[in-house]
């Protein structure tokens, strides 16, 4: 199992991370991390912009934090109903706006239709994608929600992207919805060479956030927001971002929310 930090843990149970010089009486925070979302190093430590930003914010706030690896559906539900809980990574949309307190953007991604490499399938617009037989999506994901809002009726939803990969390579679906980040890791997790798929059409950009439960302590939330502004102000955020995405600029301001589902 992949871990945000190099310490023993098991699925759906939080482990507590004691931070040096932790402030007395600091509130506990449970962070739900989507399974198989981030690569890991040899020590089992998750790598990427989100894991490194979270480690820095924990360090700066002194928060005693429980990390839970969970399916997207389970994490999404718990982050809405539990006290002092958060979910990463989460796309901020108008449909979700009032469901969470938002911290970010932490990362900017591209939403992409992928096809089996070499397949003669030309997608140059959303209208083209509407005409294919079947598109694999991930249940309750922002990309699936967006396409439903755009009137798509050819979506085949699953509870794991690995299933979509297998269906795509077995020609049971024509396209799958993914992002420019993580597609190679999902392919490898499914047991395939990442070169077996290729982008067919990029249909949107989106910002990813840390989504906090509305039942999160205002004091805890204030500390995290101040710490995030601090890492942006002193250049730490840009340094982390460029370590993993040297060709991109860090999202210091959010994308416009107009027109989002």
Mean pLDDT of successive 10-residue stretches along the chain, which has 261 residues: 41 34 54 84 87 96 91 92 95 91 95 95 96 93 92 93 92 94 81 94 95 97 98 97 89 71 38
Question: Rounded CA gap, 67 and 104, in Å?
Answer: 19
Looking at residue 42, what is its pLDDT? 85
Q: Which residues contact 188 (CB under 8 A, 6 or more apart)?
A: 194
Eight-class DSSP state of 132: S
CA angle, residues 50, 87, 231, in degrees to nearest 5: 40
pLDDT at 259: 39
pLDDT tens figures, 90-115: 999 888 999 999 999 999 999 999 99
3-state DSSP of 126-151: HHHHHCCCCEEEECCCHHHHHHHHCC
Mean of per-residue pLDDT scores for the chain? 86
Q: Are 76 and 139 in contact (CB under 8 A)?
A: no
Peptide bond into 30 cis (omega under 30): no
- Opening angle at CA 241, ends 238 and 246, nearest 5: 105
Which domains, from first to last, does the chain contain? 15-108+207-244 (3.40.190.10), 110-205 (3.40.190.10)
CA nearest neighbour of 37 among 49, 55, 53: 49
Bridge partners (DSSP) listed for residue 67: 15, 31
- DSSP, res 128: H
The pTM of the full predicted model, rounded to 2 decimals, is: 0.77
pLDDT of residue 4: 55
Q: What is the reported pLDDT for 59?
A: 96
Per-residue confidence (pLDDT) for residue 19, from 0 to 100: 36
Structure tokens at 116: 């089996």
Q: What is the pLDDT of residue 27?
A: 44
């Amino acid at each position: 199992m992949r871990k945000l930090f190099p310490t023993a843990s098991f699925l759906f149970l939080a482990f507590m991370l004691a931070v040096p010089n932790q402030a007395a009486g600091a509130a506990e925070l449970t962070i739900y991390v989507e399974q198989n979302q981030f690569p890991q190093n040899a020590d089992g430590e998750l790598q990427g912009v989100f894991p490194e930003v979270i480690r820095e914010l924990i360090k700066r706030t002194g928060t005693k934090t429980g990390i839970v690896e969970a399916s997207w559906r389970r994490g999404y539900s718990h982050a809405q109903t539990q006290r002092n809980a958060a979910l990463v990574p989460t796309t901020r949309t108008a449909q979700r706006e009032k469901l969470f307190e938002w911290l970010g953007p932490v990362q900017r991604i591209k939403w992409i239709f992928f096809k089996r490499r070499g397949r003669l399938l030309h997608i140059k617009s959303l209208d083209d994608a509407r005409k294919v037989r079947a598109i694999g999506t991930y249940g309750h994901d922002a990309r699936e929600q967006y396409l439903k809002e755009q009137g798509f009726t050819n979506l085949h939803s699953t509870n794991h992207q690995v299933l979509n990969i297998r269906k795509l390579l077995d020609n049971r679906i024509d396209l799958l919805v993914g992002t420019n980040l993580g597609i190679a890791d999902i392919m490898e997790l499914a047991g395939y060479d990442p070169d077996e798929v290729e982008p067919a059409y990029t249909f949107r950009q989106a910002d990813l956030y840390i989504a906090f439960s509305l039942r999160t302590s205002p004091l805890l939330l204030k500390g995290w927001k101040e710490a995030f502004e601090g890492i942006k102000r002193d250049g730490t955020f840009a340094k982390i971002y460029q370590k993993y995405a040297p060709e991109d600029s860090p999202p210091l301001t959010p994308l416009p929310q107009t027109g989002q589902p």
